[in-house]
């Protein structure tokens, strides 16, 4: 259970850092602010709208929070030399990677719970029809999203030998998978068809297109989220696979498969990070 | 019983051989000083013993466990004071020690350990504000957690004032009395004689000597010095002295003739030669080889006397 001690120490350490409080403060502002928007717009179904705004904020901020919290987790200890304490004590390198993932996840959980508690207050005050289960589901989703980006960042952090490389790696992955990834299926489509696809509203996309799109962590998470946050009633266009692809929805575009992709985005980066860290020469 | 044993241990970094053909044996219950100048391969050896760095050839056994493949078992029974460590700036001294105790699964009282190393008053302070010496004490307290059978201390006295270094030596003695083996590295010879049963001296990745300090002094032809003060320095005395058997160097300085003798028994012959030359001898003193001389002889290339 060494990883539990490492996680606890890491949480205590991170909890005394400015990061946690900045993250929590930012989340509270976002959650409270975004959930208040529907009341200003005086829309119908304000609770559903509030959740939708909340989800948008979470999807924007949590990846950055996860990457920021994670990128220095392991390599920071290598640079400061405290890794010599960690590994001079009877801890395995697996304990270190697991402990870090767990400790930082706890930071995300605490920050999210506090922020969502404030958000719940705002929503209960402004709107009728608070659906506790939907709200908790979105909170759980937030934590899972945090876990995905923490895993990516800690995987990178465990793989490299300097903070600079960790920043470059994390930024590179973020830009590749969350910024430019959309253009990958677009490019393939253009090469095959000689024209640009219509992404939403028409239901004419080939199934592979949506699959490639969903290989990005952000898109896979969104595919799961639209089941939790009932955006179908809220958004004017159909965002689900059924509304986007031509013909039957194949199994790999069902929500559970998006869940598999999400799990892979948690498991694979941390596994690669561990594999590289376990062979690292710590001189 | 053997606490540490290495067999043709080797570590290369690219083309650099940090440690070569190292055969070392440290017995249980002894205090072993691992000496050598910076960059001689001491830390690399310790890093291999602790599993931080895998050997490129050979093997090491610590407390009966293979250092590369059974590192966890090694570290469970070993207390480590690493070199170039960093503290967790935001955590208190007590939290550091508590963490070490938890990882060891031990039942020590963190405050008791902190008071042993003289940090009782700083238990609630964040380690980020500690001086180098305090950090060193903190790391030592962490190493002591769980009554380890073996203490591996890498440059333990670095950053400590003479008083701190003395306190550390006292704790080392207490630990040995408890039955622990202590393996520590140092690049300063002076700190070693007081507590070491045996020393190993590294130079350029190789073990160049391994014995008790007394035997090393005896075996090594470390020069003792004869200093003769005279009213005037006679002509040709340098050549005359250098011609004598056992004289390795002569330094003449303003009425003072310093003769380096590779064999102490040749002092009389050298003194006779000075007296024969006609100079009046005003004072004679001799200097036995110091530890530093011994260390220097072992860790620098031997130079031919001019």
What pLDDT does residue A31 have?
84
Contact across the interface for A17 and B90, Cβ inside 8 Å: yes
Residue A228 has pLDDT above 80, yes or no: no
Lowest mean pLDDT among A68-77, A243-252, B61-70, B170-179: A243-252
Bridge partners of B150, per DSSP, are B78, B181
Q: How far is A170 from chain B (nearest CA, A)?
A: 24
Does A22 reside within a domain? Answer: yes
Alpha-carbon gap, residue A130 to B155, rounded angstroms: 63
Q: Which letter, b or e, does each residue of B158-186 get, where b requires 16 or more Cβ atoms within 10 Å of its Cβ?
A: ebbeeebbebbbebbeebbeeebbbbbbb
Widest distance between CA atoms in chain B: 76
By C-alpha distance, the chain A residue nearest B83 is A84
Name every chain B residue with its beta carbon within 8 A of the beta carbon of A92: 72
What pLDDT does residue A181 have?
94
Q: Does B47 contact A at CB distance below 8 Å?
A: yes
At residue A237 the predicted structure's pLDDT band, cuts being 50, 70 and 90, is low
At residue A14 the predicted structure's pLDDT band, cuts being 50, 70 and 90, is confident
Q: Does A5 contact B at CB distance below 8 Å?
A: yes
Residue A97 has pLDDT above 60, yes or no: yes
ipTM of the complex: 0.86
Alpha-carbon gap, residue A209 to A211, rounded angstroms: 5
Which of B44, B82, B104 is facing A90, going by the closest CB pair?
B104
A167 close to A206: Cβ distance less than 8 angstroms? no
The answer for A 8-27 residues in CB contact with B (under 8 A) is 8-9, 12-13, 16-17
Lowest mean pLDDT among A95-104, A230-239, B143-152, B172-181: A230-239
Sign of the Cα torsion A190, A194, A195, A199 reads negative
Q: Mention every residue, 6+ apart, whose C-beta is less than 8 A from residue B63.
A: B3, B4, B73, B74, B77, B78, B149, B150
Query: Stretch A133-156: mean pLDDT, rounded?
Result: 94
Q: Looking at domain B223-288, which CATH architecture does it have? A: 2-Layer Sandwich (3.30)
Going by C-alpha positions, the residue among B84, B6, B71 that lies closest to residue B45 is: B6
CA angle at B151 for the pair B148 and B157, rounded to the nearest 5°: 135
A199 close to A244: Cβ distance less than 8 angstroms? yes
Which of B12, B54, B84, B86 best tests the A interface by mutation, with the highest count of A CBs <10 A? B86
Residue B62 main-chain phi, psi, to 5 deg: -120, 120
Share of chain A above pLDDT 70, in %: 96
Does A191 reside within a domain? Answer: no
Bridge partners of B10, per DSSP, are B57
Structural domains of chain A, count = 1
- More confident position, A21 or A221: A221
Going by C-alpha positions, the residue among A27, A53, A36, A51 that lies closest to residue A125 is: A36
B111 close to B93: Cβ distance less than 8 angstroms? no
Q: In the structure encoding, which two tokens stand for residue A166, read together?
A: 């960790």
Q: How far apart are the first and last CA of chain B?
A: 48
Which of B84, B95, B103 is facing A89, going by the closest CB pair?
B103
Residue A45 has pLDDT above 50, yes or no: yes
Bridge partners of B202, per DSSP, are B207
B224 close to B288: Cβ distance less than 8 angstroms? yes
Every domain range in chain B assigned CATH 3.40.50.300 = 2-218
Contact across the interface for A92 and B72, Cβ inside 8 Å: yes
Every domain range in chain B assigned CATH 3.30.70.100 = 223-288
Q: Looking at the domain B2-218, which fold is it?
A: Rossmann fold (3.40.50)
Residue A161 has pLDDT above 70, yes or no: yes
Per-residue pLDDT of chain B (306 residues; tens, 9 = 90+): 899 999 999 999 999 999 999 999 999 999 999 988 888 999 999 999 999 999 999 999 999 999 999 999 999 999 999 988 999 999 999 999 999 999 999 999 999 999 999 999 999 999 999 999 999 999 999 999 999 999 999 988 888 888 888 899 999 999 999 999 999 998 877 777 778 889 998 988 999 888 887 787 776 656 677 888 888 888 888 888 888 877 878 888 878 888 887 765 677 888 888 888 888 888 888 776 666 677 777 777 544 333
Strands B198-203 and B31-35: parallel
- Residue A163, domain extent: 2-179+263-279
């Amino acid at each position: 259970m060494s990883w539990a001690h490492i996680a606890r120490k890491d949480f205590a350490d991170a909890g005394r850092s400015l990061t946690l409080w900045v993250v929590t403060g930012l989340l509270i502002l976002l959650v409270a602010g975004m959930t208040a928007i529907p009341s200003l717009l005086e829309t119908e179904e304000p609770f559903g709208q509030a959740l939708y705004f909340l989800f948008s904020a979470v999807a924007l901020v949590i990846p950055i929070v996860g990457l920021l919290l994670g990128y220095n987790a392991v390599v920071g200890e290598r640079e400061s030399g405290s890794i010599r304490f960690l590994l001079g004590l009877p801890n395995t390198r697996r304990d270190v990677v697991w402990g870090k993932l767990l400790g930082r996840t706890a930071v995300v959980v605490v920050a999210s719970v506090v922020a969502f508690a404030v958000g719940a207050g705002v929503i209960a005050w402004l709107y009728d029809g608070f659906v506790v289960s939907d709200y908790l589901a979105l909170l759980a989703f937030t934590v899972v999203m945090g876990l995905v980006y923490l895993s990516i960042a800690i995987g990178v952090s465990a793989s490299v030998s300097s903070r600079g490389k960790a920043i470059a790696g994390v930024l590179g992955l973020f830009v590749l998978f969350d910024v430019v990834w959309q253009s990958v299926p677009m490019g393939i489509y253009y090469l095959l068809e000689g024209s640009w696809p219509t992404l939403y509203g028409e239901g004419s996309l080939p199934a592979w297109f949506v699959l490639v799109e969903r290989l990005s962590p952000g898109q896979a998470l969104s595919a799961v989220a639209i089941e939790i946050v009932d955006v179908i009633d809220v958004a004017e266009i159909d965002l689900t696979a059924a509304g986007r692809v031509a013909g039957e929805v194949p199994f790999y575009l069902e929500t559970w498969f998006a869940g598999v992709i999400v799990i892979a985005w948690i498991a694979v980066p941390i596994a690669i990070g561990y594999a590289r860290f376990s062979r690292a020469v710590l001189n | 019983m053997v606490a540490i044993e290495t067999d043709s241990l080797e570590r290369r970094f690219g083309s650099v051989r940090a440690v070569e053909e190292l055969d070392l044996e440290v017995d249980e219950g002894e205090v072993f000083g691992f000496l050598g100048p910076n960059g001689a391969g001491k830390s690399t050896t310790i890093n291999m013993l602790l599993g931080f760095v895998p050997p490129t050839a050979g093997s090491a056994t610590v407390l009966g466990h293979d250092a590369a493949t059974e590192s966890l078992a090694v570290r469970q029974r070993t207390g480590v004071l690493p070199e170039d460590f960093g503290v967790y700036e935001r955590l208190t001294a007590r939290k550091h020690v508590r963490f070490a105790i938890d990882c060891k699964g031990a039942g020590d009282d963190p405050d008791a350990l902190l008071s042993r190393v003289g940090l009782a008053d700083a238990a609630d302070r964040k380690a980020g504000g500690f001086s180098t010496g305090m950090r060193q004490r903190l790391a030592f307290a962490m190493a002591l957690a769980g009554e380890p059978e073996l203490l591996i201390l890498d440059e333990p006295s670095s950053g400590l004032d003479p008083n701190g270094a003395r306190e550390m030596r006292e704790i080392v003695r207490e630990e040995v009395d408890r039955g622990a083996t202590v393996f520590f590295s140092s690049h300063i010879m002076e700190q070693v004689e007081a507590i070491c049963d045996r020393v190993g001296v590294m130079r350029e990745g190789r073990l160049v000597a391994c014995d008790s300090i007394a035997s090393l002094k005896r075996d090594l032809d470390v020069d003792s010095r004869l200093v003769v003060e005279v009213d005037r320095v006679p002509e040709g005395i340098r050549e005359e002295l250098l011609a004598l058997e056992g004289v390795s160097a002569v330094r003449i300085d303003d009425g003072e003739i310093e003769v380096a003798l590779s064999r102490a028994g040749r002092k009389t012959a050298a003194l006779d030669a000075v007296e024969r030359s006609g100079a009046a001898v005003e004072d004679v003193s001799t200097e036995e080889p110091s530890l530093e001389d011994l260390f220097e002889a072992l860790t620098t290339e031997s130079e031919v006397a001019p």
